[in-house]
A and B are shown apart, each in its own frame.
Chain A
């Protein structure tokens, strides 16, 4: 039978374990990368065979007509290389009503074209093909219940054709000569580049309505395929996940009553330099985390998760001690690849007493995992914005 100490131990282990709120997207990407066959490795034996055959062909050149030999060599090599044809269309995968991530972390890609077309075969879908030179870089695809997007860097709002959207962000990617496009397809209405800054390339896609999607990563040439289902019954049968409410006219992006995540893990830990909290008359309390890169490294918003919770009680990292902030509910913000230990000189416990945000306190700064807790006067929906110059994560908490 367990005694009090064993029960305490059990509780402690659960609290400590639950500091990890979700499975990190980067880790998911790394695993995906690890199980994806490497085209170059597969090509190596075939290239070696082609080379050997060429050498053999030239060795017998002296005893045969040169033209005949050249034709033989050309046809042999052509035959070998035709086995490296583009990857065939894979077995159709189900359409999924959730966000997707993938690509190859650390791989640099150049977007060379975007092609869009409707496919009539069941269940009917619009297909967007993003062609890449050099492989498919790491990407995040996020569905949204609005066609309103925010341009990177400038923060300007842009409304695309349609009533719903998908945001596609590529990391370590560049683009040249790919223009924005409008379509009159059943699902896809517009594709607009939202940003191309510091090798983070983002696109907004305007859709006629919120629909389920499927994503395929194909090789030879590298291309990311995004299919949006168009069948009229599809949304009903596939039961899309609830999406954030639409933004009011004054909002930049919709508030969402769900957890948020984003940022990128592209270099050394970012240094936290400021934390600001203020109420905005448009109907929200704003929390800003400002970062600076380490000397010689690239600025980026570190990978983060913003998790809502039903109480204002938090567990501090790594001590496991409880701390209860002002208010009755809370938001936990965790950055991976960030620290304020040597760079942040401000207060680590702010009590602004705003309509909703009551207290903002640092919960931990350990091994480049930086976490803060926010005590709220009431459960509220949130939105996040990643801004640059300077690098900031903005968290807006909706007020009544």
Chain B
């Protein structure tokens, strides 16, 4: 589905669906934000904050780091509010949040990022024997940040592959490949069999 696909998000009425078409009331809130109204911006934080925080937590695997990333996301959004035109702020905030999350992870885990890179170019990922099968939580820990971001957006936020690619600023084919690799890795780590199509 195209970029305008809405993204039904599971998890209760308090979770806002990122990707919905902007309703007029939200448009007025954004207009007030552009005028520098901080109370209006807090409404935006209330509306999108929880969803962004949950997504960042899935990617970063660390509550404090996720909170830092979401804080930076909203501060940048506030500074750039003038650049947001008549569009739903959800995907826009998502893009900023993804960028901040991946940057935050790289800052915190410079060494780990280096080993991930070496792993990619060098000896490949460490394989897990059948005796070492992991549950999904631990298997997710073993993905790269970029893979986790793709998985979180596609499988948690239910974004289409196209929208996931857009949020992470990569070509659609790259995203397809990234999701496929991530899924294969998760199957390997958890010992799940792939069902032929």
Contact = CB atoms under 8 A, between A and B. Distances in A.
B195 A3 contact: yes
A13 interface: yes
Contacts of B152: 13
Contacts of A24: 53, 67
B45 A23 contact: yes
B45 A13 contact: no
A386 to B, nearest CB: 22
Chain B interface, >50% SS class: helix
Contacts of A8: 136, 192
Contacts of B75: 31, 34-35
Contacts, number: 99
A349 interface: no
B11 A18 contact: yes
A221 B196 CA distance: 70
Contacts of B45: 23, 28, 31
Contact of A6 (B12, B135, B137, B155): B155
Contact of A13 (B155, B190, B197): B155
Contacts of B37: 91
A64 interface: no
The interface size bin for chain A is 35 or more
Contacts of A28: 42, 45-46, 49
Q: Which of A3, A319, A320 has the most CB of B within 10 A?
A: A3
Contact of B156 (A5, A17, A32, A320): A17
A247 interface: no
A241 to B, nearest CB: 14
Interface of B: 10-12, 14, 37-39, 41-42, 45-46, 49-50, 53-55, 57-58, 62-64, 67, 70-71, 74-75, 78, 135-137, 151-152, 155-156, 183, 186-187, 190, 192, 194-195, 197
Interface of A: 1, 3-6, 8-10, 12-14, 16-18, 20, 22-24, 27-28, 30-32, 34-36, 91, 93, 318-321, 336, 367, 369
Q: Which 10 A-B pairs have the closest CB atoms?
A: A17-B54, A13-B156, A23-B49, A320-B137, A12-B136, A34-B75, A23-B50, A3-B195, A35-B78, A5-B192
